[in-house]
């Protein structure tokens, strides 16, 4: 059997190695249109910023090492330009000698990845304007910085790669501005969580410009003028486009394979395309998202590697292994801050008309009495009837990674908030608390579902009817004086039982504290003493101040 693989890196290279491990006799040919077949794509921003100092550390395998170890026919600088699915051949353009040739296959795998979006804007071809997708892009940016010593940089787009790039340029001493057409960075997050990142970026002295896209670029000597849709102009020395990526589906379209509504190549549960002899994987395909029960584009290295193993198994043994889908578990480091998400955000659930309840909690990365504990801000979304966990977002400085992994496994298994309460974790003061933040998120959600407390959210406070509501800050006088919600009355938790005469029973009572715990206790006290319309501010003043800041 002869298998042709189009594209290397995470998907194609993993597939080739797995195929060889399964079958020593299969003929494997891998085509890579670039020079590099196996490298750490996600490490590129860190090399540009100088965190990774040795360029060679980016390479997992060379063409020679991968070919030798796995007895592969790897053809770098070879671009597959068309597929003849009737005759089961591909046409290849050899970029080294400029010649075309035909190669036959029994099975074909498309691992063509995704292309960075580069809109047709005036001046976009000027020197000093880059995309970042591969090693060649990285070398161009690194050389430009070395040769021109830029003082300022503009990042177009505030996604994961854009923020990592901004952080690394800032780390390299370059004044950096992020331009984002929407009103927040990191689209997979909800605004309330993204606002924590906004505050952190500003503390790093990274400039943020929201609400206007770019309309043009103008080169002026050694500098570039970035012109926004609102006519604002920003002077810079270099630009990195991080607007997003689109699946590379040109070959699939050209041979008549089914393309999904998302623009990705459509595959079934076996990663097989509409042609039984052609499989596809990685960033070029649309994958089933079990949370919203629709196909999505989720360009992540982890899913691509898993898909590659499944495709290899199905080629060798027949279609037996299924890919159950991707829930988009992702994580990023920005300075010392870690941001992670899994499942569906509130805005995605709203878009899909999926009912859900939200809860905010703020816990500690480990026992607060042990030195070095940091706050973990957690938002969870869950179904109002069953408590099924639908999505989680976490921001913090330590312990974010292990918590998002726990949450993601509950979502993958169609688990509920009740299972969060039962998660058993390794506990010692340097690593966690006896009640881990994951457990606490489950406890708080269960209190909401069972009616022990009613929640109100940060974006509802401004629209309160002041004549029919009473806002209580249950923190200490010192906390209250350092900042509070306008119109709030300060009645600390420990004095609230003696202040019933100051709290009206004929109004809607809204209670808040720093993160929600004292507010919950106060709400329970009032609810058991004749107060019927009582609400606790989810996430407390901590969530509120970031979101409105």
Pairing state between β 294-296 and 285-289 = antiparallel
Residues with catalytic annotation?
513
Q: How far apart are CA 419 and CA 249, in angstroms?
A: 40
Distance of CA 365 to the CA centre of its chain: 21
The per-residue DSSP string of 166-184 comes to: HHHHHHTT-EEEEEESSSS
Of the candidates 242, 236, 241, 240, which has an alpha carbon nearest to the alpha carbon of residue 219? 236
Residue corresponding to tokens 């009613």: 454
DSSP state of 409: H
Phi, psi of 209 (to 5 degrees): -125, 120
Residue with tokens 């000698």: 97
How many Å apart are CA 270 and CA 517, to the nearest integer? 47
Maximal CA-CA distance, the chain: 89
Query: Number of C-alpha atoms within 13 angstroms, CB side, residue 178?
Result: 31
Instruction: Report whether 314 contacts 342 (CB < 8 A).
Output: no
Instruction: Give the Å distances, CA to CA, from 137 to 33, 40, 59, 134, 181.
Output: 14, 13, 15, 5, 24
Query: Are residues 302 and 309 in contact, defined by beta-carbon separation less than 8 angstroms?
Result: no
CA dihedral 379→383→389→395, nearest 10 degrees, is: -10
């Amino acid at each position: 059997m002869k298998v042709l693989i189009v594209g290397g890196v995470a998907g194609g290279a993993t597939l080739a190695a797995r195929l060889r491990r399964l079958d020593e006799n299969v003929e494997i040919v891998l085509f890579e249109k670039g020079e590099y077949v196996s490298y750490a794509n996600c490490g590129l921003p860190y090399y540009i910023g100088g965190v990774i100092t040795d360029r060679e550390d980016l390479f997992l395998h060379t063409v020679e090492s991968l070919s030798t170890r796995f007895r592969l026919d790897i053809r770098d600088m070879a671009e597959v330009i068309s597929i003849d699915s009737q005759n089961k051949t591909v046409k290849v353009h050899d970029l080294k000698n400029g010649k075309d040739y035909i190669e036959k296959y029994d099975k074909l795998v498309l691992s063509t990845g995704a292309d960075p979006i580069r809109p047709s804007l005036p001046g976009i071809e000027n020197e000093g304007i880059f995309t970042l997708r591969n090693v060649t892009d990285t070398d161009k940016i690194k050389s430009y910085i070395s040769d021109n010593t830029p003082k300022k940089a503009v990042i177009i787009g505030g996604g994961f790669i854009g923020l990592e790039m901004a952080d690394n340029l800032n780390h390299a001493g370059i004044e950096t501005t992020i331009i984002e057409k929407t009103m927040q960075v990191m689209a997979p997050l909800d605004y309330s969580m993204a606002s924590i990142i906004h505050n952190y970026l500003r503390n790093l002295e990274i400039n943020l410009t929201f609400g206007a896209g770019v309309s043009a670029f103008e080169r002026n000597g050694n500098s570039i003028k970035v012109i926004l849709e609102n006519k604002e102009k920003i002077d810079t020395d270099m630009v990195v486009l991080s607007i997003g990526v689109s699946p590379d589906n040109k070959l699939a379209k050209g041979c008549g394979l089914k393309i999904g509504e998302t623009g990705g190549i459509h595959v079934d549960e076996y990663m097989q395309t509409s042609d039984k002899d052609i499989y596809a994987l990685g960033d070029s395909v649309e994958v089933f998202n079990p949370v919203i029960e629709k196909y999505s584009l989720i360009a992540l290295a982890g899913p691509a590697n898993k898909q590659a193993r499944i495709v290899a198994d199905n080629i060798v043994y027949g279609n037996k292994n299924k890919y159950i889908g991707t829930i988009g578990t992702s994580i990023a480091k920005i300075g010392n801050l870690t941001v992670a998400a899994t499942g569906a955000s509130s805005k995605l659930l709203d878009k899909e008309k999926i009912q859900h309840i939200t809860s905010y909690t703020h816990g500690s990365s480990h026992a607060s009495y042990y030195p070095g504990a940091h706050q973990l801000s957690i938002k969870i979304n869950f179904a109002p009837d069953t408590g099924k966990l639908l999505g989680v977002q976490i921001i913090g400085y330590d312990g974010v990674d292990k918590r998002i992994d726990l949450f993601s496994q509950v979502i993958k298994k169609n688990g509920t908030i009740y299972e969060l309460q039962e998660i058993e974790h390794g506990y010692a003061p340097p690593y966690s608390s006896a009640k881990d933040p994951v457990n606490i998120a489950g406890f708080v959600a269960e209190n909401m579902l069972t009616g022990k407390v009613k929640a109100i959210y940060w974006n509802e406070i401004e629209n309160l009817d002041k004549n029919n509501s009473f806002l209580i800050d249950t923190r200490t006088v010192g906390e209250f004086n350092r900042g509070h919600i306008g119109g709030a009355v300060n009645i600390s938790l420990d004095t609230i039982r003696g202040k019933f005469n100051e709290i009206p029973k004929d109004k809607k009572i809204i209670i808040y504290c720093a993160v929600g715990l004292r507010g919950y206790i106060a709400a329970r006290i009032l609810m058991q003493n004749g107060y019927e319309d009582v609400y606790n501010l989810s996430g407390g003043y901590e969530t509120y101040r970031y979101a409105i800041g």
